[in-house]
């Protein structure tokens, strides 16, 4: 969730507690509005109406459109997993297809890209995106590499700093390619594309066709 609450298990403060149901309804209404209206035409007043809460309630919990949409979209990426398919190539293909399926949702398309756009001028927002979305998924790269190393498909890493750099690079290459394919080229990241992508990623451009 990562709302800006004062967290730290404040454990039963006095007064009326915030409605957890309202939180869920607001986030769901936000995703719904993203699908129907897109980012630019989404208004907080409309979201409040859809969620059945007052506009003021919404402003009491989120600072603005950006923060709200980050939370609404972040949940979509939490279901990503890396099932063990027996080989590095198969593992990559599997997780990339999952990622592509999520990115194919209209609420993910417009929501994620919009907050990334806004983050170019808002460092706090960028940090929030990194915490609640990006860094959480980087685990997939580390896990996949660990498995592949155990299988003997990749040489063991010696320099930990070098290893971290490579992990970041892989993440940028995988996520970047899928996003560009889906949003800019506007063509589906289907099985055939993923197969070709994985081949180039593993064997390079000179590899067998």
Residues that bind DNA (CB under 7 A): 12-19, 22, 43-46, 52-57, 59-61, 64-65
Residues forming the site for a second copy (CB under 8 A): 38-40, 88, 106, 109-110, 113-114, 116-121, 126, 129-130, 134, 153-155, 162, 165-166, 168-173, 175-181, 183-187, 193, 196-197, 200-207, 209
Nearer to DNA, 8 or 56 (CB): 56
Interacting partner of 179 out of a second copy, DNA, none (Cβ under 5 to 8 A depending on kind): a second copy
- Which residue in the block uniquely carries the two structure tokens 């055939």? 192
Given a contact cutoff of 8 angstroms between Cβ atoms, the answer to whether 84 and 142 are in contact is: no
Give a three-class secondary structure readout of 77-102. Answer: HHHCCCCCCCCHHHHHHHHHHHHHHH
Q: If contact means CB under 5 to 8 A according to the sort of partner, which of DNA, a second copy, none does residue 188 touch? A: none
Determine the 3-state secondary structure of 52 from DSSP: coil
Tokens coding 57? 């309630």
Closer Cβ to DNA, 13 or 121, answer by number: 13
CB of 59 to a second copy, least distance (A): 17
CB of 48 to a second copy, least distance (A): 20
Whole-angstrom Cα distance, residue 33 to residue 140?
30
Which uninterrupted H or E stretch holds 125? Answer: helix 123-129
């Amino acid at each position: 969730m990562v709302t800006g609450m004062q967290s730290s298990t404040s454990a039963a403060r006095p007064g009326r507690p915030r409605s957890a149901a309202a939180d869920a309804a607001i986030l769901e209404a936000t995703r719904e509005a993203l699908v129907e209206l897109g980012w630019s035409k989404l208004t907080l007043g409309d979201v409040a109406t859809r969620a059945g809460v007052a506009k003021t309630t919404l402003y009491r919990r989120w600072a603005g459109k950006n923060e709200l949409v980050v939370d609404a979209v972040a949940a979509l990426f939490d279901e990503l997993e890396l099932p063990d398919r027996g080989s590095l190539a198969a593992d990559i293909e599997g997780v990339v297809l999952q990622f592509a399926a999520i990115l194919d949702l209209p609420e993910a398309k417009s929501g994620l890209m919009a907050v990334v756009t806004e983050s170019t001028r808002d460092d706090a927002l960028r940090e929030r995106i990194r915490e609640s979305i990006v860094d959480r998924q980087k685990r997939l790269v580390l896990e996949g590499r660990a498995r592949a190393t155990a299988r003997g498909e990749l040489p063991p890493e010696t320099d930990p700093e070098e290893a971290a750099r490579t992990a970041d690079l892989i993440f940028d290459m995988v996520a970047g390619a899928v996003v560009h394919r889906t949003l800019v080229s506007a063509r589906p990241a289907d099985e055939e594309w993923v197969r070709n992508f994985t081949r180039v990623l593993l064997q390079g451009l000179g590899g067998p066709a």
